[in-house]
Amino acid sequence: MNISLLCPTRGNLRGLRRMLDSLNDLTEYPEQVELLLKADLDDPELPRIKQLLHSYDTIQHSLYIEERSERLIDDYYNWLAARAKGALIMAYNDTARMLTPGWDHRLMEAARGHAYALIATRDTTRGKQRFPCFPVLTRPLMEAIGSFFFPGVRMWGSDGLLWQFCRDAQLVVPCPEVMIEHVHDQSPERAAKNKRYTEAFNADCKSGVLPYDCTRYLMKLYRMSVVKERYIKGVDLANGGAA
């Protein structure tokens, strides 16, 4: 398996269908892509989600159903990442719509020769951020870090932190040719959820917990940059440093 897409979904059947249609139309090697979805047990759209997925057979997919959680990062993204089989693991969701034909092939080409890397796609998210909202990690990097996203953040912010640390550790590989539309749902439920996520992130930042945890997280990524530097010089760390 080359690529695993991690996709939490809730109450957005329209967005999920749009996401699936774009993958169906634009994936070059569907047999090399897996889609891992996680839905809430109390999601009113759950029966229709199951029905939609039942009719979708282009890409191998798995739907996990659990009790609802307010910890988006650990209980959805990192939980799905622990079950992913791909060499590349991509954070995705039901607000994404792929725009690039052959996006999967392009990601694999961008990752070629990079054992420890964050592959930076482009998206249409408005605002001043310069980090990808749908980052891709190579498996060695994810396993070395110990999770996909930084587990100290409950809701918002992990994509920015991941980008910042990988950038500082010189582990970012740009892949601007892969473009993703970020379709923001303005439903009352989604707006309320966004407000809860923002409040949780602000509370985490003010608590003083994040800076301490982030330091440990950064050190892991710094060690990855050392590994990358030695790898480029032809040193095989697994064999005691012999070239």
Maximal C-alpha separation, the chain: 59
Quote the pLDDT of residue 151. Answer: 76
State pTM to two decimals.
Answer: 0.80
Quote the pLDDT of residue 221. Answer: 59
- Measured CA distances, 224 to 44, 105, 128, 230 (Å): 43, 25, 28, 10
Quote the pLDDT of residue 230. Answer: 46
Quote the pLDDT of residue 58. Answer: 87
- Arch. (CATH architecture) of 3-235: Alpha-Beta Complex (3.90)
Sketch the domain layout of the chain as residue ranges: 3-235
| Phi, psi dihedrals of residue 179, rounded to the nearest 5° | -115, 135
Spans of the chain, pLDDT less than 50? 128, 211-212, 230-243
Quote the pLDDT of residue 238. Answer: 36
Quote the pLDDT of residue 242. Answer: 34
Quote the pLDDT of residue 202. Answer: 60
| Phi, psi dihedrals of residue 127, rounded to the nearest 5° | 120, -175
Quote the pLDDT of residue 93. Answer: 93
* Separation between Cα atoms, residue 144 and residue 217, nearest integer Å: 11
CB 160 within 8 A of CB 129: yes
